Amino acid sequence: MSDFRQAFIEFSISRHVLCFGEFKTKAGRMSPYFFNAGLFNDGDSLRQLGQFYAKAIIAAQLPFDMLFGPAYKGIPLVSAIAIALAESGHNYPFCFNRKEVKDHGEGGLVVGAPLSGRVLIVDDVISAGTSVRESVDLIQTSGAVPAGVVIALDRMERGSGQFSAVQEVKHTHQITAVSIITLDDIINYLQHRSDLAHHLQAVASYRAQYGVA
């Protein structure tokens, strides 16, 4: 596991974003872990989160021309990531959308740089894929090309069918999905943490029952 992935897991645990126990998912499953990116809710957390995204993007070597953050969660994300990338010597334009078209002032649906070229979508997780689908539609309607999507965690978990939400997005939109960490990274991390080892069996069993290849 890359150093920044291990550091991100430790960062997520320290901010209580990644927790272990018993949690009921939207699908009604009892999950032995929970990831709540909404708890990255102060300035220092957002700064570090943007840096981790930037490291994952650079490591993926994915070609793109600009960043797009879907409202609402994607707005602070795309801003933090753009700053972190610029501090690493990679300066990209970015934008985000409004939920409703503004009919006065500058108007329009997009705030920031115009959508053009190859656009990298940023989000926290992919659940049903609705946010990505809406983003792809907006990008294509603007004459740009969706280059991929980057998220914090890939749960690697089946939905209603045999594929995960991330796999569905890849197949449906023919785009690359990049994540800072995956469930396999979490399992690997637990294997090397004696103080958290008692959670390992439950997480691994959940992966075996509901996971995808």
Over the stretch 21-49, which tens digit does the pLDDT of each residue have? 999 988 889 999 999 999 999 999 999 99
Tens of pLDDT, residues 164-184: 989 999 999 999 999 999 999
Helix axes 43-60, 74-87, angle to 10 degrees: 70
Q: CA–CA separation, 84 vs 53, rounded Å?
A: 8
Predicted pLDDT of residue 1: 61
Predicted pLDDT of residue 31: 96
Q: CA–CA separation, 20 vs 32, rounded Å?
A: 6
Element (H, E) at 200: helix 200-210
Predicted pLDDT of residue 102: 56
Could you give the residue ranges of the DSSP H alpha helices within 26-181?
43-60, 74-87, 130-141, 165-173
Site of tokens 């320290």: 14
Annotation: CATH topology of 3-210: Rossmann fold (3.40.50)
**Any idea which residues carry the catalytic annotation?**
102, 104
Predicted pLDDT of residue 131: 87
- pLDDT tens for the chain, 213 residues long, are 679 999 999 999 999 999 999 999 888 899 999 999 999 999 999 999 999 999 999 999 999 999 999 999 999 999 999 999 999 999 999 999 987 765 544 557 899 999 999 999 999 988 777 889 999 999 999 999 999 999 999 999 988 788 998 999 999 999 999 999 999 999 999 999 999 999 999 999 999 999 997
